[in-house]
Structure 1
Amino acid sequence: MYYGSTLTPRATRYFLLLLHSPMLPRRCCLFWPSSAVSNIAAVPSLSCSSLLFRLRKPSFFPRFSSTASDDDAAEKQQHDGDSSKMSILKSGLYLVATPIGNLEDITLRALRVLKSANVILTEDTRHSRKLLQYYNIKTPLLSYHKFNESERETTILKRLQHGDIVALISDAGTPCVSDPGFELAKLCTRQNIPVIPIPGPSALLAAISASGLPTNEFTFVGFLPKRTGSRKERLMVSANETATQIFFVPPHKLHQFLDEASSIFGDSRSCAIAREMTKLHEEFWRGTLGEANKIFSTQQPRGEITLLIEGKAKSVAEVPADDQLELELRELISNGHSISMAVKLVAEGTSAKRKHIYALALRLCGKQMEAKEYPD
């Protein structure tokens, strides 16, 4: 600590105190009038806070300068203002994604919504309470599942219409995706009640990202029907699609699924089986449906399973022979179509290149003109 006197333009006597202490994050200068520090001796061992406490309060607030600029303070004030605005949620139905296994896989925004909501709708209150207790969230819970969703809707709508903030969560992952909530969300949209998604964990996206299968196009099928006929019909539809197919499979039905899928898709179709994702015993198995059917016929895996099957390979259409193309061109031209229109129609109906078809059309017309000029 150092202090000394200085003169201002108005000849007012001030003491300049240079305060440097491990208690302060930055060096700072504090200007006090000399009257405030008369009778005060410099004690180097005193901390800055002790010295300031002994100073007589001046008639004006001291001028304070620091290495921190006023812009930093203004920026902090603006940030605090923005944070307070962000903490204010509007009334509506919030679809909050929750962890699929690891409790740390939750967003800060999701936690803020769950803490700010008036009520949280959940499939299983006992299961969801573990997550809420982990993050010390005291918001009341209300059970909402497929067996009571119709009777709950009226009560929930009234709360939303009165300005409540209602959060909807599932046991794991994103609500309304193979989980209850779709009907409630649809009802809210029809009533012009805001429906706000709070994105986060998703089993299907986590599985396809690490599956090693094509991700540019995929179809989420979810759980298959329970009836054998309906289940096989759905598998036949998926077998003919070129996009990667994603299924949710209960562990006790995995062998049945693989047996039916390998017979419909074929043993050589590539697949990936994701089990217990984000949990301690997370496992990814990759291979063909035939291999999976043999391996998992003798073992019964546990935990939630997401199964992905590679889409059907896009077949390359064979290019028709020139004789076939000429036959189609001759028929179109004889029916009154111009050469350009005939070429266009043939090109749209085949995989042959338009330039090649046009050359055939010119050759065909040349033969026809030659036949007219030199008849037999």
Structure 2
Amino acid sequence: MIIKPQFKLKEYENGLYLVSTPLGNLKDITLRAIEVLQQSHYILCEDTRVSKNLLDKYQVKSKLISNHKFNEKKNVIKIIEFLKSGKIISLISDAGTPSISDPGSILVNECINNEIKIFPIPGPSAVAAAVSISGFSDKFLFCGFLPDKKQQLSNELKKFSEFENSLVFFISPKKINKIIPEIKKNFEGRKIVFCREITKIYEEFIRKNVNELELFEKEPKGELTVVISEKKINKNLSEKLTESDINIIKKMINKLSTKEITEILSQSTNVPKKEIYNYCLELKNEK
């Protein structure tokens, strides 16, 4: 398949282009992404073998430069020199959006320091894809890859468990059974979705209640994107009216009805409506 560029090369400004690439299915790439890759002088990629499959499919002949977590610091000076000389350079990862839990942030910051223009070319995202099918709150915290060391892992998950909205993180199949006991300990009562091989032939979404989680009998194939549901607040366990709440009620008690005050205050506190309502009645009866 050959995609003909819509613009001449001079139409593109020189600079660094962060190009999102397919998660697995090679058809999940934008026409603009192909066009930018075709017109780049150099393409930085994690694994040239992986990227070559995509680039060959779309007849991209640009020169590849290996750029992974072990050599990205070493590459920076050379890449900055290329960019300063007027080259167009694209940065891609093996899958998804570069610099998001993948190499790229070091180069991006160096470009910022050197006032070199950076252009995002959006596309596939494992995080957005996983959240979209989870059924959980679309307000979420992306945690990236979690720490390897047991104590650090435990501390991180304990901290994240206080976050009330959904959580998303990546985990390798080799580490999934190591993390499951910590998830059960810190996220009791929540739901979880394991997303595996997104957009690929063996795509799979495993939905569970955290309390019912068990270790995987066989190591799953492919990196996992994991989504944990939002934290449900039990209003029966919420605090009593605070001094601040009481002062607010006293200011409104002669201006609004008990029902109106209850509705207003319940939006900014976890105190049960019944308790707010009863307190309002007590104040009105005292007058």
Which residue matches 1:287?
Answer: 208
Q: Structure 2: which amino acid aligns with 1:340?
A: K
State the alpha-carbon separation in 1 of the partners of residues 253 and 101 from structure 2.
Answer: 50
C-alpha offsets along residues 104-152 of structure 1, whole Å, 9 cap, x if unaligned? Answer: 1111000000000010011111221111111111100111122111221
1:199 paired to 2:118: no
Is 1:264 the counterpart of 2:195 in the alignment?
no
| In structure 2, C-alpha distance between the alignment counterparts of 1:265 and 1:299, rounded to whole Å | 23
Alignment of 1:188-227 (within 5 A): 188-214=111-137, 216-227=138-149
Q: Percent identity?
A: 38
Contact in 1 for aligned 2:18/2:120 (Cα 8 Å) = yes
Deviation at 1:252, TM superposition (A): 1.1
Tell whether 2:232 aligns with 1:313.
yes
Any gaps of 5 or more consecutive residues in structure 1?
A: 1-82, 333-338, 367-376
Aligned counterpart in structure 1 of residue 27 of structure 2, from 104, 107, 119 = 104
Bigger radius of gyration, 1 or 2? 1
Measure the CA separation in 2 of the matches of 1:248 and 1:264.
17
- Residue in 2 that maps onto 1:173: 96
Alignment of 1:105-184 (within 5 A): 105-184=28-107
CA pair 164-258 structure 1, distance change in 2 beyond 3 A: same
User: What SS is found at the alignment partner of 2:119?
Assistant: strand
Equivalent residues of 1:113, 1:167 under 8 A apart = yes
What number of residue pairs does the alignment pair up? Answer: 267
* Coordinate RMSD, CA, aligned: 3.0
Aligned match of 1:233: 155
Aligned partners of 1:213, 1:202: CA distance in 2, in Å? 17
Report the Cα offset of residue 287 of structure 1: 1.4
The 5 Å alignment of 1:74-89 reads: 83-84=6-7, 88-89=11-12
Shift of 1:349: 8.3
1:183-202 CA-to-partner distances (Å, cap 9, x unmatched) read: 21122122221110000011
- CA displacement at 1:85 relative to structure 2: 6.5
Q: How far off is 1:340 after superposition? A: 3.4
> Contact (CA 8 Å) 2:93, 2:103: kept in 1 or not?
yes
Higher relative contact order (CA 8 A, sep 6+): 2
Matching residue's letter, 1:312: K
| Residue number in structure 2 paired with 1:185 | 108
Deviations 1:57-105 (A, max 9, x none): xxxxxxxxxxxxxxxxxxxxxxxxxx44797211111000001101111
Partner amino acid, structure 2, of 1:304: E
**So what's the TM-score if we normalise by structure 2?**
0.82
Structure 1 residues 352 and 257: alpha-carbon distance in aligned structure 2, compared to 1, 3 A threshold: closer
1:191-243 deviations in Å (ceiling 9; x for gaps): 221110000011111111112222x2011111111111111111111212111
TM-score by length of 1: 0.64
In 2, distance between residues paired with 1:181 and 1:106? 19
1:7-22 equivalences in 2 (<5 Å): none
Contact 1:262-1:293 within 8 A present in 2 as well: no
AA of the residue aligned to 2:211? G
Q: Per the alignment, do residues 194 and 226 of structure 1 end up closer, same or farther by CA in structure 2, a change over 3 Å counting?
A: same
Query: Does structure 2 retain, via aligned residues, the 8 Å contact 1:269–1:289?
Result: yes
Give the match for residue 33 of structure 1.
none
